[in-house]
Amino acid sequence: MSLDASLSRVVLIAWIASALGLTACDRERGPPPARVKQVFHLNPYEKDFGYSQAVLIDKTLYISGSVATDQNGRLVASGDMAAQMRAAYSNIRRTLAAHGAGFDEVVKETIYTTNMDALLKASDLRFEYYDKERLPTTSWVQVQRLVDPGFLVEIEVVAELP
């Protein structure tokens, strides 16, 4: 086979492959698979207040900002940043556990505080919940106030379930 014949054959094969590839792109694709949204309430008052403690989509669990409240929605540990953080993390732990997860599955954490200096002083208590070698991505934000003026901190997380 001559060089010209070989080159013509290669060009013809490339053209056929290209044409087949283009027709494959023209096929209509079906809709993406449905993503199931499951809503979770940690405490009964959450529905009345108008929010979900968590929403699960596929294997991603989005946990709303957790604050220092008891099961009736009442503020606990007024004026004590460390105690409020522990209470918020305790509520997060309960929500994670209800989904068969723990803090190792948390991939993103956002902490809102009305007092950054107090948060910085109490920040080491995070290691009671997270492994220092496997920390989630974290953002700390100071805000003017939270939904209840007595709240000093609110923590929201995103977890990837096993």
For 43-82, how does the pLDDT look when each residue is reduced to its tens digit (9 = 90+)? 666 677 777 788 899 999 999 999 999 888 889 999 999 9
The Cα 157–Cα 110 span in angstroms is 6
Entry field: residues in the chain: 162
Average pLDDT of 101-119?
A: 98
For residues 140 and 4, which has the higher predicted lDDT (pLDDT)?
A: 140
Q: Are strands 137-142 and 106-113 parallel, antiparallel or unpaired?
A: parallel
The Cα 129–Cα 110 span in angstroms is 15
Distance between terminal CA atoms of the chain?
Answer: 59
The Cα 45–Cα 119 span in angstroms is 27
Average pLDDT of 19-41?
A: 64
Note the pLDDT of residue 109: 98
CATH number of 37-160: 3.30.1330.40
Domain residue spans of the chain: 1-30, 37-160
